[in-house]
A and B are shown apart, each in its own frame.
Chain A
Amino acid sequence: MTGDPLSRVFAALADPTRRDIVARLSIGDATVGHLAEPYGVSVQAVSKHLKVLEDAGLVSRSRDAQRRPCHLEAETFELMTKWIERYRLQAEERFGRLDAVLAAMDDQHTHHHHHHHHRGAAS
């Protein structure tokens, strides 16, 4: 698994079962046994998924993993959401400038620009 936290979170959530586990844990803590029930798979298989989520910092559980409930680390989950939001805001900011450029553009230009090419160094 790759090093940086965001990559780990993304990788952990790349699996549909793990996304479902996260969705269920967002409602409340649950034991491994409970989590295994709807999938018709072994507790071991679910434990494996939980291990990936745990390594990504998305889920925490105590040493006695069979009994103790799994807990969603909401902060880690939000970390990813925040990073995407940051990226979105950047795009938003850029497109806000584009809005202004579009509003200032000369209407008459748009009628005959279609086959106009820009070549070479422009600066």
Chain B
Amino acid sequence: MTPITTNETRIEADPDLPTVRIIRDFDAAAGRVYRAWTDPHLVAQWLGPKSTTTQIDTWDARTGGSYRYSTWCEGEQLASFYGSFHELRPDERLVQTFTYEGYPDGVCLETMTFEDLGDGRTRVTGLSVVDTMEARDMMIASGMEAGVVEGYQKLDGLLAEE
């Protein structure tokens, strides 16, 4: 299987509802994509921002189970996240809650849908729902923040080489 790099990620921030939808196609069958989303050893390989490592602290991937993971950079813990597995429907649907431990009052409900497109391709649609428009905007803005932090880290690297 050759990875095709033309699969674009689409983001839809609803103007009226505190939601974000992420849509992405993958060149793999639904069963395989679902497994990459639920097997902790595989999840750890791709989840979390660039230049950080993801450590799975707890992972009980079954309906009613829970998880916790933390992101690390150069031996330092940056952030931890936890939540519940609300529903696992193999190869089709995954519903989870998600909380950033640095902001314990906030909880996001995430529904991932795995849609078989045929020809060994799968469309994943992730719907994230939070409780206020402000929280939703913050969620999007945090992407910006992480990007800035990464940028600074790269700058640090460049400066250190001087």
Footprint of B on A, CB under 8 Å? 2, 4, 6-7, 10-11, 13-14, 19, 83-84, 86-103, 105, 109-110, 113-115, 117-123
Contact = CB atoms under 8 A, between A and B. Distances in A.
B24 A84 contact: no
> Which has the most chain A C-beta neighbours within 10 Å: B26, B32, B41, B50?
B32
A115 B88 CA distance: 11
A105 B33 CA distance: 10
Contacts of B39: 113, 118
Contacts, number: 142
Contacts of A93: 50
Interface stretch (B59-67, B98-106, B111-119): B59-67
Contacts of B49: 90, 94
B3 A122 contact: no
A10 B9 contact: no
B39 to A, nearest CB: 7
Contact of B55 (A6, A96, A123): A123
Q: How large is the interface on B (under 10, 10 to 19, 20 to 34, 35 or more residues)?
A: 35 or more
Contacts of B61: 117-118
> Which has the most chain A C-beta neighbours within 10 Å: B2, B5, B13, B46?
B46
A87 B133 contact: no
Interface of B: 1-3, 5, 7-11, 13, 15-16, 20, 22, 24, 26-29, 31-33, 35-36, 38-42, 44-50, 55-62, 65, 90-91, 133-134, 136-138, 140-141, 143-144, 146-147
Given A90-B146, A122-B59, A14 B41 contact: no
Given A19-B15, A88-B9, A99-B7, A6 B137 contact: yes
